[in-house]
Amino acid sequence: MTAHPRPIADAVPDGAPAEFAEAMSALASGVVLVTSRLGDRPWGTTVTAFASVSADPPTVLVSLDSEGTSARAIAAAGSFGVSILAADQRALARYASAPGATKFLESFAEAGEEAGTSPVVAGALAHLECKVVGAVQVADHTVFFGRVSAARASSDGAPLLYHRRAYRTLGGPARAHPPTGRSLRCLTS
């Protein structure tokens, strides 16, 4: 007999969200800013639901509140950026996660970006440029799958982490070396 998977939305019984949140708080995550544009202005949202899906072709996923500004902008544009935050960027992470607040990034984005690319957060450890190749609605979130068209590892400094509902670091120096300023490297033709 074929086993049918249960609908994802029904997999957690009533009353379990608090226990689910408590359990998930045990997972230490890196922190990224998912970047997009509202009109021609840079916008970013703090996210931990981000993962690498495949190395060849390079593909990532990000899960965003379907009603959020970022999800709407990314669905409309068909592209997004991912800046992996450094240990000394927790103020930016707070700014870009404030509920209901604007999250324009002019003060935090690198100057001189190419037209048509996503905003790049200055001082981040790495940045990915992604084209949406799939989107799946699950509960109140949309999981966007992004084909990575360009990647840049700017710095080997320490990452910003999130664990037990607080920002943390590895305990090492916040930034071992200054950013190299290398340009985005194209991964697809």
Chain residues in the site for ligand FMN (CB under 6 A): 31, 45-49, 63-65, 68-70, 97, 99, 103, 162
CB of 85 to ligand FMN, least distance (A): 10
Q: Based on CB atoms, which residue is closest to ligand FMN, 7 or 99?
A: 99
158 vs 176: CA distance, rounded Å: 7
Question: How far does Cα 61 stand from its chain's mean position?
Answer: 9
CB of 31 to ligand FMN, least distance (A): 6
| C-alpha angle 178-146-29 in degrees, rounded to nearest 5 | 55
Q: Based on CB atoms, which residue is closest to ligand FMN, 32 or 120?
A: 32
3-class secondary-structure state, position 74 = helix
123 vs 81: CA distance, rounded Å: 15
CA distances from 90 to 87, 132, 160 (A): 7, 27, 7
CB of 169 to ligand FMN, least distance (A): 14
Nearest residue to ligand FMN on Cβ basis: 68
Q: Based on CB atoms, which residue is closest to ligand FMN, 72 or 175?
A: 72
Of the candidates 182, 164, 186, which has an alpha carbon nearest to the alpha carbon of residue 29?
Answer: 164
Q: Based on CB atoms, which residue is closest to ligand FMN, 168 or 187?
A: 168
Q: Based on CB atoms, which residue is closest to ligand FMN, 45 or 83?
A: 45
Q: What is the DSSP letter of 8?
A: G
